[in-house]
Structure formats: C-alpha cells, structure tokens
A and B are shown apart, each in its own frame.
Chain A
Amino acid sequence: MMMQIVNTLKNENKLHPPLTNNSSEESALTGKDHFEVKVENLQFFYGRKQALFDINIEAQEKGVTALIGPSGCGKTTFLRVLNRMNDLVTDTHLEGRVCIQGRDIYDPATDVVELRKRVGMVFQQPNPFPKSIFDNIAYGPRIHGEKNKNRLSEIVEKSLQGAALWDEVKDRLYDPALSLSGGQQQRLCIARVLAVQPKILLMDEPTSAVDPIATQRIEDLVRELCRDYTIIIVTHNMQQAARISDYTGFFLQGELIEWGETSRIFTRPRDQRTEDYITGRFG
C-alpha cells in the first residue's frame, strides 16, 4: 500500500512538479509572510461540543492542499469555516483567527457575500440547480449584477471550458442540468463556481459521488485549475491526495495532526498516527 502510494506520487510529481521552487519544506512554509489562507489557533464548536482543536495551517497562493482523515474528523467542518458556510448551522461559534488574503474573515466588518464570491465551494454531491445548463453557470454572474447577454454567454463558455465540460455540452446549453451524468454535473458545479471568478476553491470530496472515469477527469481538472486557483480539497481517498495535492494535512478527531508537502507526508510522516493512517492501520 505504502509503496503503491509512493510510486503514484513519483509519477505524478513528474507530470506536475510542485509549484514552489523551495527545495526544503521549512522554507516553503515560512519563506513568504503573506499567505492566501492562514489559520491560527482555530477552535470550533457545535453548541458545547468542540469539533476542531487548535488548528494552525497556512496555504500559499495557487496549488492544491489536500485534507485527509477518517470520517467525522473535522475536515469538512474546517473547510466550511473558510467560506463561513458554518454560519448556516445554528449555535456554532469559533475562536482564533482565519485570514484569507490577509483579511480576518470572522471580523464583524466582513462582507460574507463578498467572501463567498472570493472563496468558491464545490460540494460532495453534485448539486446543480433545476435549471438549464446555461442558467446554472450564469446564476452567479447574474446575482452579482451581470445583465449583458453577450458577456454572460462569454462567461458561460469560458467557465465550461475551464471545467473541461464545454465540448460535451456546447450543443445543448439549454437542456436541464439534471439531465447530465453525475460526473458531468460535478464539473458543471465546478464551472458554476469558476463563473464568479473566485481566488480560492474549496472542494468537499468532489469525487466521492461519481464513477472512476469521472473521478479521473475531475482530478485532471484539479491539476489544471491549481495553476490559477488556490485549491483546498477534502478527500478520504489517500491515493487521491497523493496524486493531486502539493500539500497535505492530516486531521484526526478534530485535530490537525500534521501537515506539510505531500511527498514528505506520504514518505516520511513525523507523527506515528499519520503513519498508521496512511499505511492503512486504521481509518
């Protein structure tokens, strides 16, 4: 199992060299003082139950950070902290600082609508609206005030191309989005997010509800997109993390046990629990 992952990783690294030029991991993590995402001493609570314990993590601009860990370990909760989707759950609160592009997003002055424009999210289950393909993609730009039909068509085409779906749907843009296959629907959801031009993409197990071929497509897409976007992806598939991410964080029972360059996490984990997890001793 371990060898297999390492091999995958080596191959992938040839195709997608890490985006940072720093050879040593430590300098990669501290060499820049401005991070795209910087989380300090985050504690998160559902009511009185604490779900996240003292999380510290940083992500540089562009590239893929994968969050792995067993079910219920808090990785999805953490992801939803980053675009404040947890605000929708009643009786939650948090402590600590969550900075995105240098701004504390839990500052009372934060405009949540504007934040979610900058920080897009792709969900576990493909969730297109019961509208046409075109209207799904145009939804975001429209609510943000774009009315010009030509501009909208342009955005729709560009977003669908960005999500590698254009060629499959260009002749049926006005068909219901729900007539697409599961994998196509998920790429449509990615295109829908791209249409609002976010800087950061949060993906919550985006391949868990689609078939292997669609998974492959979406993984390729993630590698494509990370040239332009900062991607944080939750997965419980370790091989996927190894294949597509530059950095990996390992969550366990609400704690971020370890994080660092993916190649290092999968070959030389520092914590015994990380090693146990990635070698399949539990999870």
Chain B
Amino acid sequence: MPAITEKIMKIIFWLSGMAIIFFLAGIMFTLLSNSIPAFEEIGLKPFFTDGVWRPSAFAEPTYSLLNMIMGTFMVTAGALAFAVPVGIAAAAYLSEIASPWEREFFKPIVEILAGIPSVVLGFIGLVVLAPLLAAVFNIPSGINALNGAILVGVMALPTIITLAEDAITAVPGEYRHASLALGATRWQTIWKVTIPAAFSGISAAVMLGMGRAIGETMTVLMVTGNMIARPTSYLDSVRTLSANIAVEIGDVVFNSLHFHALFVVGLVLFMITFIVNLMADILIHRKPEVNR
C-alpha cells in the first residue's frame, strides 16, 4: 500500500515540475507562431530600422521598435540607477548593522512593498509624483520617463533588497573578523570586504530586479505618457515595449498584420527578460574562487 502512494506522489510531483516546462514552452510557441505571419509579410528588418511605430497608418505603416526599446531602456536604467544603490545599502544595513529587533521590523515592510499592486503605484505616480516633478522641473506635465523610472525603481527595490541581503548574509563571518582584526572600521569592512565577497549574489539580485523593471507594464503605462516619438531626455514622454502591447492590443483587429506585429514586440520583450534572467542565473551559480 505505502509503495503505491509513494509512486502516485512521485508522479504528482513530477507532473508539477513538468507543468512549468510546459507553460514556458507554450508561451514560447504562442509568441513565435503568432509573430511568424508578421515576419513573413514585412521581414525582420523594419522592426529594427530607424523610424517610428505606426502600424495602423493608412498610407505607409512603419514598424520600428527602436524608440520603444529606447523608452524601455531609459525607464529600466533610470529605475536601476536609483534602486541599485538604495537596495544594496538597505541590504547591507539589514544584514550588517540592524539589530535583530530592527531586522524583524524592516523585513515585513520590504515584503509589503513588494505586494503593492502596480496599478496602485501608477495611481500614486499620477496624482502625487507627476505634479511634484512638474513643479520641480518647471515643465507642463510630470508624465514622463523620469516618473516611470522612479516608480519602477520602487517596484524593483524589494527584489534587490531581499536577494542582496541573502547574498551579504551568506558571506562567511571569518572575512569580517579578519578585516576588523586588522583595524578596519565596520564601514570599511562592509564596503571593501563584505560587499565585494557577495558580488556575484548582489549582481544576480540586480539582474532579477532589472528583469522586473523591464517587464513592468501597468505603472509605466499610466505615468510615462506613451508617446511614440524618440525621447531626448528623461523629461520626455516615452512608450515602453510592454506598455505598447497593453495600449494597442485592445483595439487591434484579430489576426491582422498589426496584431502579429504586437506579438513581435512581445517576443522582443521576452528575449530581453530571458537574457537578463539567464545572466542572473549564471551569476548565482558561478562558483566562488575556491581551492584549485
């Protein structure tokens, strides 16, 4: 009898594991098969040549993704420029400086931050951050790349803090003791020994935070303005790849060229996040320098 339950359990767990692979393969297949008609009709090149995204233009539709790739890049880079230093510093604080009591207090707060729905953050971006940015920079509207970058940075923070804290906590205590015994201050020890020793884990944290930032849709859709023109500064409106799909998928004709072109956008987005996550994975599993 127990042998049978054992077997059934094994199969159930195996199926659960396989389901993940099945979902991923399914998503890949859907994206690819729906993108192919677009490639067949217009080829690969128009997506990556200079121009704008105007697939529904009456005379001459254009399909360039470059401005949107740039928008995605600006929002992501801006978000990381703010979230990486703050996230690493917060992680170092939690694992190296905070008393056990403070740690117990702060860790749930970080988790709550991770749980805030992105639409709520977008709303805050609209009613709080946008007027603030408009006033600070003396511009007519604060609906721009900077607004999106700040909010996406806030969304990437919990990922970066949690994973970087794990990496820093995993640094052997002997390194800290060696450093302190040489007369280093706690600050010097954190900055010159602990964080460099946790480097691969921290990089992975940053990569996963970046994956989060690249794919983020609702918030950026609400606060970046969604202009398809080429942005020239952070105070310009931008449209990201993810927001582009969300904006247009609602009123596109099913199975039209425009429809399939949007799948190409999804495919590009998927490839970018896939590469970022793969890099994170490689960094996490990279063996630290050990006895050779």
Give the interface of A toward B (CB within 8 A).
Answer: 83, 85, 88, 113-117, 120-121, 123, 125, 127-131, 139-140, 142-144, 176, 178-179, 189, 192-193, 196
B183 touches A144 (CB 8 A): yes
Q: Answer yes or no: B6 CB below 8 A from chain A CBs.
A: no
B178 touches A123 (CB 8 A): yes
B174 touches A125 (CB 8 A): yes
CA distance A193 to B182 in the complex (A): 7
B178 touches A85 (CB 8 A): no
Known: A127-B174, A179-B291. A88 touches B182 (CB 8 A): no
A90 CB to nearest B CB, Å: 9
B197 touches A143 (CB 8 A): no
Q: Answer yes or no: B64 CB below 8 A from chain A CBs.
A: no
Chain A residues whose CB sits within 8 angstroms of the CB of B188 once the complex forms? 143
B179 touches A176 (CB 8 A): no
- Taking a contact as CB atoms closer than 8 A, the residue among B181, B192, B288, B292 that contacts A179 in the complex is B292
Q: Answer yes or no: B185 CB below 8 A from chain A CBs.
A: yes
Known: A143-B188, A143-B192, A176-B289. A196 touches B183 (CB 8 A): yes
Give the interface of B toward A (CB within 8 A).
Answer: 172, 174-175, 177-185, 188, 192-193, 196-197, 288-292
A-B contact pairs, 6 of them (CB 8 A): A116-B182, A123-B174, A139-B179, A142-B192, A143-B179, A143-B188
Known: A127-B174, A129-B175, A143-B188. A116 touches B290 (CB 8 A): no
Query: Which residue from chain B places its CB closest to the CB of A192 in the assembled complex?
Result: B182
B180 touches A88 (CB 8 A): yes
Looking at chain A's contact residues, the main secondary structure is helix
Query: Which residue from chain A places its CB closest to the CB of B198 in the assembled complex?
Result: A130
CA distance A228 to B174 in the complex (A): 27
CA distance A113 to B186 in the complex (A): 10
- Taking a contact as CB atoms closer than 8 A, the residue among A115, A117, A189 that contacts B178 in the complex is A189
CA distance A127 to B178 in the complex (A): 7
Looking at chain B's contact residues, the main secondary structure is helix
CA distance A189 to B179 in the complex (A): 11
- Taking a contact as CB atoms closer than 8 A, the residue among A83, A125, A178 that contacts B181 in the complex is A83
Known: A123-B178, A139-B179. A113 touches B184 (CB 8 A): yes
Chain A residues whose CB sits within 8 angstroms of the CB of B196 once the complex forms? 130-131
Chain A residues whose CB sits within 8 angstroms of the CB of B184 once the complex forms? 113, 139-140, 143
A216 CB to nearest B CB, Å: 21
Known: A178-B290, A179-B292. A120 touches B180 (CB 8 A): no
Known: A131-B196, A176-B289, A178-B291. A123 touches B177 (CB 8 A): yes
Interface hub of A121, A129, A130 (most chain B Cβ within 10 A)? A130
- Taking a contact as CB atoms closer than 8 A, the residue among B174, B175, B182 that contacts A143 in the complex is B182
CA distance A176 to B288 in the complex (A): 11
Query: Which residue from chain A places its CB closest to the CB of B189 in the assembled complex?
Result: A143
A120 touches B289 (CB 8 A): no
B289 touches A130 (CB 8 A): yes
Chain B residues whose CB sits within 8 angstroms of the CB of A140 once the complex forms? 182-184
Q: Can you add 4 more A-B contacts, CB < 8 Å, to A85-B180, A131-B196, A178-B291?
A: A116-B182, A117-B183, A127-B175, A129-B179
Chain A residues whose CB sits within 8 angstroms of the CB of B172 once the complex forms? 127
Known: A123-B177, A127-B177, A129-B197. A196 touches B291 (CB 8 A): no
Interface hub of A113, A193, A196 (most chain B Cβ within 10 A)? A113
Chain B residues whose CB sits within 8 angstroms of the CB of A121 once the complex forms? 181
B204 CB to nearest A CB, Å: 16
Known: A123-B174, A127-B177. A113 touches B183 (CB 8 A): yes
CA distance A128 to B174 in the complex (A): 9
B290 CB to nearest A CB, Å: 6
B174 touches A113 (CB 8 A): no
CA distance A115 to B180 in the complex (A): 11
A234 CB to nearest B CB, Å: 14
B174 CB to nearest A CB, Å: 4
A88 touches B183 (CB 8 A): no
Chain B residues whose CB sits within 8 angstroms of the CB of A176 once the complex forms? 289
Chain B residues whose CB sits within 8 angstroms of the CB of A193 once the complex forms? 181-182
Query: Which residue from chain B places its CB closest to the CB of A125 in the assembled complex?
Result: B174
CA distance A133 to B179 in the complex (A): 15
- Taking a contact as CB atoms closer than 8 A, the residue among B175, B181, B290 that contacts A85 in the complex is B181
B171 CB to nearest A CB, Å: 9
CA distance A12 to B150 in the complex (A): 70
Query: Which residue from chain A places its CB closest to the CB of B193 in the assembled complex?
Result: A129
CA distance A196 to B182 in the complex (A): 7
CA distance A121 to B174 in the complex (A): 12
